[in-house]
Structures are given as structure tokens and as C-alpha cells.
């Protein structure tokens, strides 16, 4: 039970979790997912909860609002919201608490809104619940939408959720959560799945609203950089236990638990590149829900662990304002790396002849006044063993470009695709077998890309038969060596995709793509759905395979840190046009195209505010009716005048091959970008 001083303290907290244990009942057994969890969030404080998927983050959120799934139950402990015990409340008080004290913003805003109700109604019902009449409720709803910086609230109220973009949907979600002026706001992965530019807008909005309303935040995210930007204090969750907690800066700069140390090492940081060093990974897997944990939950994956760690559960050591659940918290930072840091790639041999050369590729969907120019006049080239990073918001034409290269869709007549010096037919059916197997793809979601009724051996075996033309004993042999090269073991051969974790499935997909010894592999967001520790392992694998086979990658990702780590060359697309291209180092160090600059400053990093921040307003315009002149002028924070609206700037290239499509000369851009913050320009 809680003693007296604690009770007094709790009175001042927005959320108190004390000794909380939660279990899910599956197959007749209770499986513990939260173990004796305690944390406190003060009034007006922003608390971040981080950890990989399956560690119990969302369960904490759902317990705080008492909305556990049917099979979930609280097996011990207390959750107090603004002093009231959530678990002990009767249904009327619980409803009142949800209506007034605590609110939540969800991961998938499109699904969290009722698809068959207008936005307006979904907000006014909150005020009607509070006792307002229809008229005043509507006025309040308009005010609420204005608070989340929606410029045309009356029109948005008339809309249905599917008529709004993801960013707008999430603004509405935040507006609804703030409508009742709650003391406590829970944000469960609120920006996951949104574009980086939209994410930046939403995060800015949350920061501003926090200053206005003094609401306490519980911010749940797998993205350490986002949490580091948003929160005062951070808790690291592992296997349902708090393993470390502390003020954000201290915790990320000087982590005191090996798990935190390891997580941070998985991320490409500070401009790390594949030829300068490998990413570290975390060996092994998270303990399964309900597993019996005798010692430290992380001991099996920790290089510092000894017998003490395996037998005695470490308490939460108080390190003066911060906590660590590690016997050796004082030397957590000395955690040895799992992998040696030196780069895998031998200095890549220099080639002159590009493996892929694309000239003036265009793609138009539809015709007449509805014609959508998805890709306009794109040219690029790629050397063997090189990685081309393809960057841009969704709707910028990245995937369309990749699909044209693969021959899945046929580009408009006039463009040229040259593979190893030979002209390639635009459509896949007319490509030679050699050309087909030379270009392969790894998709974002291995679940839908792998046939789920076939075992791994059959999925890869089929690719070997079709792409490498093997059969019998040679096939078997090649299958095993391929499995080995993607670090899958023989016991995975008979497994079906659903029996494998996300990372293992992606390895199968990579093995399948490499079956025919490809020259080019298109990687379409291959790690976006994966946890950071798994992501780093996959990225290392891609680097190793590239070093060994001199294969080239076209790497599509919204994560600029990952793109920077892997890429030798960058193409920045906006509305299907190349806005900037060049060697990766130059594109990232600048001078940048204003669009690239905006993308770069949208991404929160753990390395502190590096560059001047510029923000984009609004959404990417429709490709059916692109803006005149420079297509970026409608959102450009560095627009110089009418010339931007009238003439499309040329792609101006310097000697090093760095090209920028902007009316501002590169030297001037460089000067501008070393200056201080530029806000969005009023139109």
C-alpha cells in the first residue's frame, strides 16, 4: 500500500502508476505484459515512454484509460489519474473521468475517426456531452479546430474523415482530445505513419499547445529522436519493466542501462555512413509475453551480464534524479559492441560504366484534363556497387519511378532505360530473362510480399528456379548458401512466413531478391516497419551483400538518417521532378535545395538542433494540376519573387555532379542556410 508522504505527492501528479502489473489471457494462460511498473507524471510535465514493439508501451496507455482488450486484466497495482484510482472507479465516474480529465491521441488517425460521421459532429458531441446546446457546441468546435491551426474550420467540419489528408486527420484527432481541456493527454505514436514534413508540423503543434494549455503528456513512441524533442523526462520500457528513467538529455547523452545504450547504437547518428562503420545490433529477441524472468530481463542479450544478472533481478537504482535497473549501471556505457565497428565494405572498386542509366523518363496516368504527371523528365545513373537514395514526401513519385524501372508500369514513350549499356524494353513482359533477374525488389511489408501458405524453402526455391534456372542438388546447395548469406539458419527452411518475426521475414524477402544474382535491387522502405535493433541488422546485411556482390541499390525511405547511412548518391523528388541530386555527402552537407532543406529540418535527431529550421506549410499539391513555374513555389519558404511562379528553374549542376533546381544560385543558398531560423512566409 502507499504510505502517507506518497499520497501527498500523488495529489500533485497528473498520472501515477504504482506497482502496476497487467496480464493478457491467451490459450487459457495469463501472460504478464507489465511487471510491477511505477512511474509518475507531474502536472504540466511531458513524459516519454520508449521501447521496442512488444515491450508494453501501448498497454500502459490503455490501462491508464481502462480500455484493455477483453482478455487483458490488471493483476496488481494502481493507476491514479489526477488523484483518482482508475481501476477502482465505477462506470459513471470512469466515464466522467474520460470526458473531463484524460484524453488520448491515436496512432492511426484515419481509423480513429468515425468514417460515416462528419468531422463537425464528431467534435460537437464532446461539447454536447458537457451540457452545451447545439449552437454553442458548434461555435466551440470551430474554436477548437482553430486552436489546432486549421485555417478553414467551417469547411473541415462539413467533411468526412476520408476527405482529409493524414496530417489534417491527426489535427482533428488532437482537437478532439483537447476539446475537454484534459489534465492528462496520452499520445500513442501520434506521428508514426505520417510524412516527415507532416510529422514536424504535428509535433510543432503539440509543443505550442503544451505551452498554451499546460497539459501533462504521456508520449509513447518507438522513435527515440521524436521523444527526445518532445519530452522532459523519458522512461525506457523493456519486457514490461521500467529499466531506465531520467531527464531526457541526461538519459540520451549518458545512458545508464545497457538496453538504452544498445538501442542508441542501432541508430545511424551524426552523419554516420556505411563506409565509416557498421551499426551495432542487439542480439537475440525480447522475452515472450508471460515468460518467467528470474534475473535481469535483458541479461540474455547483454554483453555485460554475469551470474549475478542472470539470477538476481536488479532493483531500480536511484542515481540522483534518475533510475536504472542494472547491477552495473555505472559501466553501462562500456557495453561491448555486438559487432566490430569497422566497415564491412572493402574500398569499392572504381567503375566508369554505369549499371543503370535512365534518360528523360515520364509517367502520365489518365489523360485529358485528368492527366496525372506522376514522374516528369527524370534522368539518373547508377554505378555498380553504388546506392542511390530516393527521397521525397509521399506523392512525390518515388514508388512510381521504381515501378517503371522494374517494368511493372510502362513509362510514356520517349524515355530510355539502359541496363549495363543495353536498352531495356519498358514493359516487363518483353524484357529478356537476363534483364528481369538483373532488377529485383524488396518491399516495405514482407507480410504481403511473401506467399503465406508456402514455407521459406519453397519461396526462395521458386525464385532460384525461376531466376537462376536451378533445380535438383545445385538448387538445394544454392538455397542453403543463400540462407546463410542473409543469416537465416537451416531450421527456418520449413517455417511459414507467419511463424517468423518481421526481421526474419524481411531476410527471406532479401534472399528471394538475391536469388538470381541481381545487378540492381530496389529497396522500397525495407526497414520502415521494423524496430531499430532489427533495422540495424537488416541495414548491415544490405551493406554486406553489397560489398560482396557489388550489387547496386535504389533505396527508398522516408528516414533520412537511414538514407544517409546507406547512400552514395541522392535524388530528391518533388511532384515527380528531380529537385536536387548529387553525391550523398554534398546533398546532406549543403547547399540544399529549399525542399531538401525543409525535409532535413523536419527530421528530429538525437544530435541536437543542427541546422536552421525551416517549415513547410500545407500539403503537397495535386499532380493533376501542378503549380506553374517552379512546382515547389507554393510551399517554398525561400521564394524570391514572380520568377518562381513563371519559370521552371533548370537543374544547375556543379563540377562535382551536385545539381539543384532552384532560381537561387547555389552560393547564395549556402549563405542563406548558414543563417538563422526562417519561419514559414505569410502568403
Partner 1 sequence: MRAILSFLVQRVSLSLVTLFLLSVMVFIAGQVLPGNVGRAILGPLADMRAVELLNTQLGLDRPILVQYWDWISNFVQGDMGTSYIFRAPVAPFVFEALGHTLKLAAVALVLVVPLGIAAGVVAALNVNRPLDRIISLGGLSATVLPEFVTGIVLILVFGVWLQWLPISAAWPPGAGLTTQIYYLILPALPLFLVLFGYIARMARSGMIEALDSDYVRTAVLKGLPWRTVIWRHALRNALLPTITVIASQTTYLVGGVVVVETLFRYQGIGSLIFTAARGKDFPILEAGILTIGIVLSIATLLADLLYSVLNPRIRLGGGR
Q: Pick from 164, 194, 358, 551 the residue near partner 1 by CB under 8 A.
A: 164
Name which of 234, 280, 238, 278 is nearest 259 in CA terms.
238
Which three cell numbers, joined as nine digits, stand for 384? 555498380
In terms of Cβ atoms closer than 10 Å to its own Cβ (0-12, 13-18, 19+), residue 281 is: buried
Binders in 80-99 for partner 1, by CB under 8 A: 95-99
State the nearest-atom distance from the C-beta of 626 to partner 1, in Å. 16
Binders in 169-188 for partner 1, by CB under 8 A: 173, 176, 180
Nearer to partner 1, 172 or 532 (CB): 172
Nearer to partner 1, 112 or 572 (CB): 112
State the nearest-atom distance from the C-beta of 646 to partner 1, in Å. 27
The stretch among 100-108, 426-434, 448-456, 586-594 that binds partner 1 (CB under 8 A) is 100-108
Distance CA 22, CA 35 (A): 7
Q: Pick from 30, 36, 85, 108 the residue near partner 1 by CB under 8 A.
A: 108
The stretch among 122-130, 198-206, 237-245, 608-616 that binds partner 1 (CB under 8 A) is 122-130
State the nearest-atom distance from the C-beta of 366 to partner 1, in Å. 14
Distance CA 279, CA 342 (A): 9
Q: Pick from 4, 27, 116, 369 the residue near partner 1 by CB under 8 A.
A: 116
Which three cell numbers, joined as nine digits, stand for 127? 461539447
Binders in 519-578 for partner 1, by CB under 8 A: none
Tell me if 451 contacts partner 1 by CB under 8 A. no
Nearer to partner 1, 119 or 297 (CB): 119
Give the residue carrying C-alpha cell 534472399. Answer: 511
Tell me if 155 contacts partner 1 by CB under 8 A. no
Whether 361 and 576 have beta carbons less than 8 Å apart is answered as: no
Q: What angle do CA 539, 541, 543 make, to 5 degrees?
A: 70
Contacts of 274 (CB under 8 A, 6+ apart): 343, 344, 345, 387, 539, 543, 565, 566
DSSP 231-267: -SEEEEEETTEEEEEEEHHHHHHS--SHHHHHHHHHS
Neighbours of 136 (CB within 10 A): 13
The stretch among 155-163, 415-423, 457-465, 651-659 that binds partner 1 (CB under 8 A) is 155-163
Residues paired with 241 in a beta bridge: 238
Q: Pick from 74, 84, 89, 129 the residue near partner 1 by CB under 8 A.
A: 129
State the nearest-atom distance from the C-beta of 466 to partner 1, in Å. 36
State the nearest-atom distance from the C-beta of 126 to partner 1, in Å. 6
Distance CA 227, CA 221 (A): 7
The stretch among 163-171, 194-202, 268-276, 338-346 that binds partner 1 (CB under 8 A) is 163-171
Q: Pick from 7, 88, 111, 548 the residue near partner 1 by CB under 8 A.
A: 111
Nearer to partner 1, 2 or 117 (CB): 117
The stretch among 107-115, 133-141, 537-545, 563-571 that binds partner 1 (CB under 8 A) is 107-115
Q: What angle do CA 475, 476, 478 make, to 5 degrees?
A: 65
- Secondary structure of residue 26 in the 3-state scheme: strand
Number of amino acids touching partner 1 (CB under 8 A): 30
Question: How big is the chain by its Cα radius of gyration, in Å?
Answer: 26
Distance CA 220, CA 61 (A): 8
Nearer to partner 1, 162 or 310 (CB): 162
Q: Pick from 25, 31, 43, 100 the residue near partner 1 by CB under 8 A.
A: 100
Neighbours of 200 (CB within 10 A): 24
Neighbours of 354 (CB within 10 A): 18
Whether 77 and 19 have beta carbons less than 8 Å apart is answered as: yes
Q: Pick from 2, 7, 88, 117 the residue near partner 1 by CB under 8 A.
A: 117
State the nearest-atom distance from the C-beta of 109 to partner 1, in Å. 9
State the nearest-atom distance from the C-beta of 95 to partner 1, in Å. 5
Tell me if 112 contacts partner 1 by CB under 8 A. yes
State the nearest-atom distance from the C-beta of 635 to partner 1, in Å. 16
Tell me if 125 contacts partner 1 by CB under 8 A. yes
Give the residue carrying C-alpha cell 531476410. Answer: 507
Nearer to partner 1, 162 or 331 (CB): 162
Nearer to partner 1, 66 or 210 (CB): 66
Whether 249 and 586 have beta carbons less than 8 Å apart is answered as: no
Give the residue carrying C-alpha cell 523528365. Answer: 377
Distance CA 52, CA 236 (A): 9
Tell me if 119 contacts partner 1 by CB under 8 A. no
The stretch among 82-90, 135-143, 156-164, 225-233 that binds partner 1 (CB under 8 A) is 156-164
Nearer to partner 1, 91 or 453 (CB): 91
Give the residue carrying C-alpha cell 509518475. Answer: 40
State the nearest-atom distance from the C-beta of 509 to partner 1, in Å. 28
Q: What is the DSSP letter of 455?
A: -
State the nearest-atom distance from the C-beta of 30 to partner 1, in Å. 18
Distance CA 123, CA 117 (A): 10
Alpha-helix residue ranges (DSSP H) falling in 31-70: 57-64
Whether 104 and 81 have beta carbons less than 8 Å apart is answered as: no
- Binding flags for partner 1, 53-82, as an x/- string (CB under 8 A): ------------x-x---------------
Distance CA 653, CA 667 (A): 12
Q: What is the DSSP letter of 88?
A: G
State the nearest-atom distance from the C-beta of 369 to partner 1, in Å. 14
Nearer to partner 1, 95 or 465 (CB): 95
DSSP 178-204: HTT--SEEEEESTTTTS-HHHHHHHHH
Binders in 475-514 for partner 1, by CB under 8 A: none
Tell me if 103 contacts partner 1 by CB under 8 A. yes
User: Which residues contact partner 1 (rule: CB under 8 A)?
Assistant: 65, 67, 95-100, 103-104, 106, 108, 111-117, 125-126, 129, 160, 162-165, 173, 176, 180
Amino acid at each position: 500500500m502507499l504510505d502517507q508522504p506518497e499520497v501527498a505527492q500523488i495529489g500533485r501528479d497528473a498520472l501515477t502508476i504504482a506497482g502496476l502489473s497487467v496480464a493478457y489471457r491467451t490459450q487459457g494462460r495469463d501472460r504478464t505484459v507489465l511487471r510491477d511498473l511505477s512511474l509518475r507524471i507531474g502536472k504540466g510535465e511531458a513524459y516519454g515512454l520508449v521501447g521496442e514493439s512488444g515491450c508494453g508501451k501501448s498497454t500502459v496507455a490503455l490501462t491508464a484509460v481502462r480500455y484493455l482488450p477483453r482478455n487483458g486484466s490488471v493483476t496488481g497495482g494502481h493507476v491514479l489519474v489526477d488523484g483518482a484510482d482508475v481501476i477502482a472507479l465505477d462506470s459513471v465516474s470512469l466515464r466522467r473521468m474520460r470526458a473531463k480529465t484524460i484524453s488520448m491521441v491515436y496512432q492511426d488517425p484515419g481509423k480513429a475517426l468515425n468514417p460515416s460521421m462528419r468531422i463537425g459532429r464528431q467534435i460537437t458531441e464532446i461539447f454536447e456531452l458537457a451540457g452545451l446546446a447545439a449552437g454553442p457546441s458548434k461555435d466551440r468546435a470551430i474554436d477548437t479546430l482553430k486552436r489546432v491551426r486549421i485555417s478553414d474550420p467551417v469547411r473541415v467540419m462539413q467533411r468526412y474523415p476520408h476527405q482529409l489528408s493524414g496530417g489534417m486527420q491527426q489535427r482533428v484527432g488532437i482537437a478532439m482530445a483537447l476539446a475537454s481541456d484534459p489534465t492528462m493527454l496520452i499520445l500513442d505514436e501520434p506521428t508514426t505513419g505520417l510524412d516527415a514534413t507532416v510529422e514536424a508540423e504535428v509535433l510543432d503543434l503539440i509543443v505550442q499547445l503544451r505551452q498554451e494549455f499546460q497539459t501533462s503528456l504521456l508520449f509513447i513512441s518507438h522513435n527515440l529522436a521524436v521523444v527526445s524533442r518532445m519530452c522532459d523526462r523519458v522512461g525506457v520500457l523493456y519486457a514490461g519493466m521500467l529499466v531506465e528513467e531520467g531527464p531526457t538529455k541526461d538519459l540520451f547523452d549518458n545512458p545508464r542501462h545497457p538496453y538504452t545504450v544498445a538501442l542508441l547504437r542501432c541508430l545511424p547518428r551524426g552523419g554516420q555512413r556505411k563506409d565509416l562503420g557498421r551499426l551495432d545490433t542487439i542480439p537475440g529477441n525480447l522475452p515472450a509475453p508471460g515468460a518467467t524472468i528470474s534475473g535481469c530481463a535483458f541479461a540474455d542479450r547483454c554483453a555485460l551480464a554475469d551470474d549475478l544478472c542472470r539470477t538476481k533481478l536488479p532493483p531500480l537504482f536511484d542515481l540522483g534524479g534518475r533510475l536504472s535497473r542494472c547491477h552495473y549501471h555505472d559501466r553501462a556505457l562500456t557495453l561491448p559492441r555486438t559487432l566490430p565497428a569497422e566497415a564491412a565494405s572493402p574500398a569499392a572498386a572504381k567503375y566508369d560504366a554505369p549499371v543503370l542509366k535512365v534518360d528523360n523518363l515520364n509517367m502520365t496516368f489518365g489523360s485529358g484534363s485528368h492527366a496525372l504527371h506522376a514522374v516528369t523528365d527524370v534522368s539518373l545513373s547508377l554505378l555498380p556497387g553504388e546506392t542511390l537514395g530516393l527521397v521525397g514526401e509521399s506523392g512525390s513519385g518515388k514508388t512510381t519511378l521504381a515501378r517503371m524501372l522494374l517494368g511493372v508500369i510502362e513509362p510514356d514513350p520517349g524515355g530510355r532505360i539502359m541496363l549495363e549499356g543495353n536498352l531495356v524494353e519498358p514493359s516487363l513482359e518483353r524484357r529478356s530473362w537476363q534483364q528481369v533477374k538483373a532488377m529485383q525488389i524488396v518491399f516495405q511489408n514482407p507480410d504481403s510480399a511473401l506467399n503465406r501458405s508456402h514455407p521459406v524453402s519453397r519461396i526462395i526455391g521458386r525464385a532460384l528456379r525461376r531466376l537462376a534456372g536451378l533445380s535438383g542438388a545445385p538448387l538445394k546447395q544454392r538455397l542453403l548458401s543463400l540462407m546463410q548469406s542473409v543469416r537465416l539458419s537451416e531450421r527456418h527452411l520449413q517455417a511459414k512466413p507467419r511463424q517468423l518475426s518481421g526481421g526474419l521475414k524481411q531476410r527471406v524477402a532479401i534472399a528471394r531478391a538475391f536469388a538470381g544474382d541481381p545487378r540492381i535491387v530496389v529497396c522500397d522502405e525495407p526497414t520502415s516497419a521494423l524496430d531499430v535493433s532489427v533495422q540495424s541488422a537488416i541495414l548491415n546485411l544490405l551493406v554486406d551483400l553489397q560489398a560482396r556482390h557489388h550489387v547496386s541499390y535504389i533505396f527508398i525511405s522516408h528516414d533520412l538518417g537511414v538514407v544517409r547511412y546507406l547512400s552514395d548518391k541522392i535524388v530528391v523528388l518533388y511532384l515527380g521532378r528531380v529537385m536536387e541530386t548529387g553525391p550523398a555527402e554534398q546533398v546532406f552537407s549543403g547547399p540544399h535545395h529549399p525542399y531538401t532543406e525543409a525535409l532535413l529540418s523536419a527530421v528530429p535527431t538525437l544530435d541536437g538542433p543542427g541546422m536552421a529550421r525551416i517549415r513547410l506549410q500545407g500539403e503537397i499539391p495535386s499532380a493533376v494540376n501542378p503549380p506553374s513555374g517552379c512546382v515547389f513555389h507554393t510551399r517554398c519558404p525561400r521564394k524570391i519573387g514572380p520568377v518562381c511562379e513563371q519559370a521552371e528553374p533548370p537543374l544547375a549542376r556543379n563540377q562535382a555532379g551536385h545539381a539543384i533546381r532552384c532560381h537561387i544560385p547555389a552560393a547564395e543558398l549556402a549563405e542563406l542556410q548558414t543563417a538563422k531560423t526562417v519561419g514559414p512566409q505569410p502568403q
